[in-house]
Amino acid sequence: MRIVLFGPPGVGKSTQADLIAQNMHFKRFSMGDTLRDEVASKSELGTKIKRYVESGELVPDDIVFELVKKFVCENQKTDILFEGYPRTVRQAEALDALLSQLGLSMDVVLEIHLSDDEVFRRLTNRGYCPNCSSIYNYDTHPPKVDSICDNCGQKLVTRSDDSEEVIRRRLQLYAEQTKKLANHYNAPLVYQRIRAEGTKQEVFDKIAHIIHAYSNKR
Ligand SMILES: [Zn+2]
């Protein structure tokens, strides 16, 4: 079974991806982690990626796809959860083609939804540790001591990209991309939208329910 999980920044995607991977035996493909691992491995590809990341450019689609392809081919017999990929219709088409070559399919596409106002409130309430990169949310995941990192004791800062204008622009871009992806995956049973309200356990229960319902229909 293959699942895509997407949602706006600040919605708790990676928390949910962790829960799905741990509780439901999915192998998680996280674009961010995969890029970081490849850079750390100092491979030829990793060196190329590092150049893009350091210059603040987007890593081109063909490089990203190499990583996806490698992961999918190595995990053909495992349930896979894609997080942070695909982001565009072009990427979704490339992934569809790869899966179909391997006799596989994309089974469930889960959009975690939250109103723009709520996303905005969550994002502006974030604290970031400049030392160990931990991220806190003053509403849903506050540090134990106010403004101090639980992990290393550093004083938390607001991420520089969390200014109001930048957030509004990111949300708008996300909404445009999501609309196109939703159209691309628009098939009964495949595309599922859930609201990210309640605790992380409540959100996870909704996701688990959808995944189980799909498994039972096969
Ligand atoms: Zn820290």
Domain boundaries, the chain: 2-217
CA 160 to ligand 1 centroid distance, Å: 16
Mean pLDDT of 132-148: 85
Query: What is the model's pLDDT at position 187?
Result: 81
pLDDT, one tens digit per residue, over 25-44 is 899 998 888 999 999 999 99
Please report the pLDDT score of residue 75 as a whole number: 95
Reply yes or no on domain 2-217 having CATH 3.30.1050.10: no
Ligand 1 centre to CA of 46 (Å) is 26
| 37 token code pair | 């691992």
Nearest to 141 by CA among 7, 10, 9: 10
Using one digit for the tens of pLDDT, what is the confidence trace for 157-197?
886 666 778 888 888 888 898 899 999 998 877 899 999 98
Distance from Cα 130 to the centre of ligand 1, integer Å: 7
Which run of H or of E encompasses 204?
A: helix 200-217
pLDDT of residue 9: 79
Q: Is the pLDDT of residue 139 over 90?
A: no
Confidence of residue 104 (pLDDT cuts 50, 70, 90): very high
Cα 35 to middle of ligand 1, angstroms: 22
Cα of 69 vs centre of ligand 1, distance in Å, is 34
The pLDDT value recorded for residue 96 is 95
Place of tokens 């949300």: 171
213 C-alpha vs ligand 1 centroid, how far in Å?
Answer: 40
For residue 43, the CA-to-ligand 1 centroid distance in Å is 29
CA of 148 to the centre of ligand 1 (A): 8
**pLDDT attached to residue 184:** 94
The answer to whether the CB of 14 falls within 8 A of the CB of 83 is yes
CA of 145 to the centre of ligand 1 (A): 12
Q: Which residue has the higher pLDDT, 165 or 153?
A: 153
| pLDDT, tens digit (0-9, with 9 covering 90-100), for 51-102 | 998 887 889 999 999 999 999 999 999 999 999 899 899 999 999 999 999 9
- Residues 118/133, Cβ–Cβ less than 8 Å: no
* Ligand 1 centre distance from Cα of residue 155 (Å): 8
What are the Cα distances from residue 20, in Å, to 5, 23, 86? 10, 5, 18
What is residue 19's predicted lDDT score, i.e. its pLDDT?
94
Element (H, E) at 184: helix 164-184
CA of 127 to the centre of ligand 1 (A): 10
Give the CB-side neighbour count of residue 100, counting CA atoms within 13 A.
6
